[in-house]
Amino acid sequence: MLGLFEKEDWQAANKLSLTILNKTPKKQRDGADAAKVRYMYIYSEAGLMNIKKATKTEALKKVSGMTGRMVTLPGHPVSLKDDFNSIRKSDHETDSLFVTATNKAATSIFGFEYIILDNKWTKDDLKANAGKIFRISGTLRSIKVEGNMFPRFRILIDHGTAVEQQ
């Protein structure tokens, strides 16, 4: 499945991730693997919206039922600058981290992701972790669509945890 994301084949990635989610046994729907695939589905839906294969209304309808469920973002480096696809302190919320999720070339923004960690990071934590790769998981609290010419998701994740990747 990761190959489909590498190729940015949003239609195939979307279909496969949804198939996997639908075949996930009920007992495992809140597990770590389902949380990763759930984020992949949301991300691929953003890709479809971005290439005009899904309208904002269609995309939001498909992902809105995932609120209240666990999601796991891919590993991102911690940055002290405003970099794409990196974890940084939110400019808008004092207790939040922020990721601008884009395609590989960073030419299309798929989402603004705000993460509220259970164990808040200070500025010193950000400095100490700069350059390290972390994977963040948490509860998808809300998801909205914003942007007209360049639609994207605005995602709020709470009860977040950040785990350093080795």
SS3 19: helix
pLDDT number for residue 92:
65
pLDDT, tens digit (0-9, with 9 covering 90-100), for 13-28: 999 999 999 999 999 9
> 84 lies in which domain range?
2-164
Give the whole-angstrom CA distance, residue 79 versus residue 131: 6
| Residue ranges in the chain assigned as alpha helix (H) | 2-6, 10-23, 32-50, 56-63, 123-129
SS3 95: coil
pTM of the entire structure? 0.94
Q: Is the pLDDT of residue 96 over 70?
A: yes
pLDDT, tens digit (0-9, with 9 covering 90-100), for 31-63: 999 999 999 999 999 999 999 999 999 999 999
**How many distinct structural domains can be found in the chain?**
1
pLDDT, tens digit (0-9, with 9 covering 90-100), for 106-138: 999 999 999 999 999 988 999 999 999 999 999
How much of the chain, in percent, has pLDDT values that exceed 90?
84
146 contact partners, CB below 8 Å, separation of at least 6: 112, 152, 153, 154
Whether 115 and 98 have beta carbons less than 8 Å apart is answered as yes
CA dihedral 42→12→108→69, nearest 10 degrees, is 10
